[in-house]
Structure 1
Amino acid sequence: MAHSAEALFLIASILVFISVIASRATDRLGLPALLLFLGIGMLAGSEGPGGIHFDNVSAAKSLGIIALAVILFYGGMDTKWKHVKPVLGSGILLATLGVLFTAVITGAAAFFIAGLPLAQSMLLGAVVSSTDAAAVFSILRSRGVNLKDNMRSVLELESGSNDPMAIFLTLGIMGIIGAGGAGMAALVPKFFWEMGSAIIAGYLLGKILVFLINKINLEFDGLYPVLTMSLLIMFFSLALKAGINGYLCVYAAGIVMCNSDFIHRKNLTRFHEGMAWLAQIGMFLMFGLLVFPSALGPVAVEGLLVAAALIFIARPAATFICLAFTKYTFKEKLLLSWVGLKGAVPIILALFPLMAGIEGGQKIFNIVFFVVLVSALLQGSTIPLVSKLLGLEEKNVVKKRYPIEFEATAGIDADLNEVFVPYESEYVGKRLFEIGIPKGSLVTLVSRGEQFIIPDGGTVIEGGDVMLVMAEKQALKELEKKLAVQREKKHDEKDGGDEAV
């Protein structure tokens, strides 16, 4: 049954609306929200109550390619260099060799389990080899779990940067299948060309974006997101045309932006975060619509076994091999093995062989469904429990939301910063004017427990206060250094309490 454009827009908006509202339920259950989106898509499909027939794989693939670029760009915008720098080596190993080992081991398992030809088995392994950062961190946030030490940083870097490797392997193996098995030796130089040139192109894109945002001085603030999106899609398309890995290009551009100073940062970050969520919701809804439950029965056992091989054998083996000579303990490696959740990327990549008409493409697509489903249900629901059992979680510090915000604009070299007042600070119990606030800084708000205090010179500072200070970088360092000076201990404390004796 054909639908008018108006009807299609109405259906799509209703499905997205339901998905967003229902996502609150997944927060309480501790499951990835993306799993709910998949379920809504299936219910709306031709074999569900919704009865919507959708089998346009070509349209789904085209939308998926753009959606993946949008998702990866925001992933880069959320990657702070100071967090990932200490774990750069481990993260890159997991994002490259880790993905390769996962793909090969899963492919070998699929060869014996699913009865697919060897090349198609390896293709299946490549499709499901990457992890999903959004799924992992949404669970950690919803369950109030904070991972210890550098665990969160290495997980952030790996899950944010391993998608380009999975895409490269998928497209490379598809090329080999199309060439009748020839061209495998060409993958190695192709890898270095695509990845190296993508990093350079991404760096240039990031610098161009930062320069234009800071210098172009647009009349309307709402045009800045339009600017970034247009350049993002332009560079992504040009990279693909030039034979460069466009996905790594936009991810690298996002990292450059995240670690640069530019105006309208908060607005642009929120915009691209919203676009990334819309892309993921759309992909899971579309995946649900494309899945025909009646076709899943014949591959159910095979799909579950491949998922088990990936979760319990391939991912742990790849993690332990890559981190064999690192400082990570056995428990830390075990947790990193367990948090390899699957998200939107395997769904999008599963469309590629289906669209290309590769032998076994439909079977690969159906097995990927089971892999994503089992990963979300099993790993997604147990990450908090596993991290607790391994003793690798710490108290989650919820970032406070303040009633005021500051958006950097041209002409001012300052930012709004949180400054903690140590309990042993020399200035505890003193009034604000006695601190001697450095020139170039202004205390705009004091957070004390659940209260917000609008300060003046007579406001008394207490230990544990968090001051919201608008300051230039040098002035901020001076203020933090001043507050860090501890007050002298009392005479009776120095002498061990002689008066009491």
Structure 2
Amino acid sequence: MGEMNTADISSNELVLIMAGIATIGVIGGWVAQKLKLPDVVIYLILGVLFGPEFLNIVNIEAFPTANEIILTFGSAFILYEGGREIKLKVLNEVKISVGLLSSLGVFITAIIIGFTTHYIFKLPLGPSFLLGATIASTDPAALIPVFKSVPIKNKLKQTVISESAFNDAFGAILFTSILTGLTMTEKVGLLGTSSKLVLMILIGLLVGIGIALTAIGLSSDKRVGIFHGYAPIISIIVVVFSYEISERFGGSGYMAVFIAGLIYGNKKRFGLWVPDEDYISGVHFRENIATIARMSIFIVLGTHLNLTSLMKYGSRSIIIVLVLMFIARPIVVLVCTFFDKKANWSKNEKLFMMWVRETGVIPAALSGIIVSTKVAGYEIISSTVFMTIIITLLVQASTTNIVARKLGVLEK
């Protein structure tokens, strides 16, 4: 055999790392099933174990492009799947609550956590609010599997799932705006930032709707649906084009993929449908892609973790998590449900919404982006996000059934 050049070695190493991530993910999923724990917690722990801090088998930081692809595409596909889970018919009944929880709620959370971080860690306000925006959203990828095993009342379940999908998009947009402001050389005022945020949302909406309707038509059972046999693959094309086109026009790629998923998940309302055989194969295909995305994001986040930073900032990070769970979240639910008289939320339903707010995929991916860009305070942000994911998933996700039973919000 001839001598391999540096490019060959790099490509071979990259392939091995990707295979290693998949192998670790499969093992982690199996362990999580046996221990009856959220799989993402095991992925995080295995990422730390196999990362540079211990065994150094997976070091994705040596391949920044692959790192960015995993974090960006993975989070975009998860958002797309979250959009598909929302049913517009149910959403219409609780649209005020969902709209406020996923927009105003994100801003309230980011502000409370931002000022708390500024006070506890003495970080500048910019990085402090960046942390707030990173952990402000909840996680549909963690909530949906829990709700499949716990029969929560349908209106309450759809509200929590819808909020988690919408606030992931709003959280990602807020995160992008703050990160852009921190990394730009020229300062942008509040009015400029607000205008850009609105523009990002509008462009994302238009791009997501346009691409989704086009793709649904071409893969439907109508005469124009000449590609219906390729419906599963088209879902990946929709995610990539929605994200990239929106970003290139100055919009939010995350909003675009989420809206595309929302349109796709409610295509019957537009008089379109995919043949049953193609629909079923598409579901299995997307579930596998989403699983790969989840395991990759959390394993990569685990490999990014600096144990020295975690030991240094861990105790103060726990304070941030407690403020998020027991101060920020209750305030958000009380404020955002107050204005929705039509939904007629009971006290116990509000208490349940306060408890169910797991942090997961999108914050993990955004944290990875922060580490990659080396923003001021990135070690503090990474450690706090890690703590938030571990604590909320272990404490809140694992007790959802018990809390729902105690509060009487299970379907009879």
TM-score normalised by the shorter chain: which range applies? Answer: 0.7 to 0.9
Match of 1:66 in 2: 73
Shift of residue 117, structure 1, vs aligned partner: 1.0
The 3 A distance-change label for structure 1 pair 224 and 145 is closer
Q: 1:328 aligns with which of 330, 345, 349?
A: 345
Match of 1:239 in 2: 246
Take 2:253 and 2:60, find their aligned partners in 1: how far apart are those partners?
Answer: 28
Q: 1:155 aligns with which of 155, 160, 183?
A: 160
Q: Pairwise mapping of residues 1-40 of structure 1 onto structure 2 (< 5 A)?
A: 4-27=10-33, 29-40=35-46
Secondary structure of the structure 1 residue equivalent to 2:61: coil
Shift of residue 131, structure 1, vs aligned partner: 0.4
The TM-score with structure 2 as length reference comes to: 0.88
Match of 2:286 in 1: 272
Question: Residues 214-248 of structure 1: CA distance to partner in whole angstroms, max 9, x if unpaired?
Answer: 33434x93x43333322431232111010111111
The TM-score with structure 1 as length reference comes to: 0.73
Q: Pairwise mapping of residues 97-496 of structure 1 onto structure 2 (< 5 A)?
A: 97-141=104-148, 144-177=149-182, 178=184, 182-214=188-220, 215-218=224-227, 221=229, 223-260=230-267, 261-263=273-275, 264-326=278-340, 327-394=344-411
Take 2:170 and 2:11, find their aligned partners in 1: how far apart are those partners?
Answer: 37
The 3 A distance-change label for structure 1 pair 183 and 351 is farther
Take 1:158 and 1:105, find their aligned partners in 2: how far apart are those partners?
Answer: 19
Counterpart of 2:248, as a letter, is K
The 3 A distance-change label for structure 1 pair 302 and 56 is farther
Take 1:310 and 1:180, find their aligned partners in 2: how far apart are those partners?
Answer: 32
Take 1:32 and 1:7, find their aligned partners in 2: how far apart are those partners?
Answer: 30
Q: Pairwise mapping of residues 67-106 of structure 1 onto structure 2 (< 5 A)?
A: 67-106=74-113
Bigger drift between 330-339 and 173-182 goes to: 173-182
Counterpart of 1:370, as a letter, is M
The 3 A distance-change label for structure 1 pair 273 and 85 is farther
Counterpart of 1:173, as a letter, is I
The 3 A distance-change label for structure 1 pair 30 and 391 is farther
Take 1:338 and 1:233, find their aligned partners in 2: how far apart are those partners?
Answer: 34
Take 2:384 and 2:401, find their aligned partners in 1: how far apart are those partners?
Answer: 27
Asked whether the 8 Å contact 1:33–1:135 carries over to 2, the reply is no
Q: Give the structure, 1 or 2, with the largest relative contact order (CA under 8 Å, sep 6 or more).
A: 2
Take 1:18 and 1:53, find their aligned partners in 2: how far apart are those partners?
Answer: 13
Asked whether the 8 Å contact 2:349–2:409 carries over to 1, the reply is yes
Take 1:57 and 1:169, find their aligned partners in 2: how far apart are those partners?
Answer: 27
Take 1:205 and 1:179, find their aligned partners in 2: how far apart are those partners?
Answer: 34
Bigger drift between 5-14 and 110-119 goes to: 5-14
Asked whether the 8 Å contact 1:315–1:337 carries over to 2, the reply is yes
Take 1:292 and 1:216, find their aligned partners in 2: how far apart are those partners?
Answer: 50
Asked whether the 8 Å contact 1:61–1:348 carries over to 2, the reply is no
Take 2:138 and 2:338, find their aligned partners in 1: how far apart are those partners?
Answer: 20
Take 1:117 and 1:245, find their aligned partners in 2: how far apart are those partners?
Answer: 26
5+ residue gaps, structure 1, are 396-501
Take 2:22 and 2:59, find their aligned partners in 1: how far apart are those partners?
Answer: 17
The 3 A distance-change label for structure 1 pair 316 and 190 is same
Shift of residue 298, structure 1, vs aligned partner: 0.5
Moved over 6 A (4+): none
Counterpart of 1:113, as a letter, is I
The 3 A distance-change label for structure 1 pair 125 and 181 is farther
Take 2:68 and 2:115, find their aligned partners in 1: how far apart are those partners?
Answer: 27
Match of 2:3 in 1: none
Asked whether the 8 Å contact 1:130–1:163 carries over to 2, the reply is yes
Asked whether the 8 Å contact 2:78–2:141 carries over to 1, the reply is no
| C-alpha RMSD of the superposition | 2.3
The 3 A distance-change label for structure 1 pair 56 and 10 is closer
The 3 A distance-change label for structure 1 pair 18 and 65 is closer
Take 2:24 and 2:243, find their aligned partners in 1: how far apart are those partners?
Answer: 31
The 3 A distance-change label for structure 1 pair 57 and 353 is farther
Shift of residue 52, structure 1, vs aligned partner: 3.7
Q: Which has the larger radius of gyration?
A: 1
1:43 partnered with 2:49:
yes
5+ residue gaps, structure 2, are 1-5, 268-272
Shift of residue 371, structure 1, vs aligned partner: 1.4
Match of 2:270 in 1: none
**Identity, % of aligned positions:** 27
Shift of residue 167, structure 1, vs aligned partner: 1.3
Secondary structure of the structure 2 residue equivalent to 1:31: coil
Question: Residues 3-28 of structure 1: CA distance to partner in whole angstroms, max 9, x if unpaired?
Answer: 65345434433442342354244346
Shift of residue 58, structure 1, vs aligned partner: 3.3
Take 1:15 and 1:57, find their aligned partners in 2: how far apart are those partners?
Answer: 14
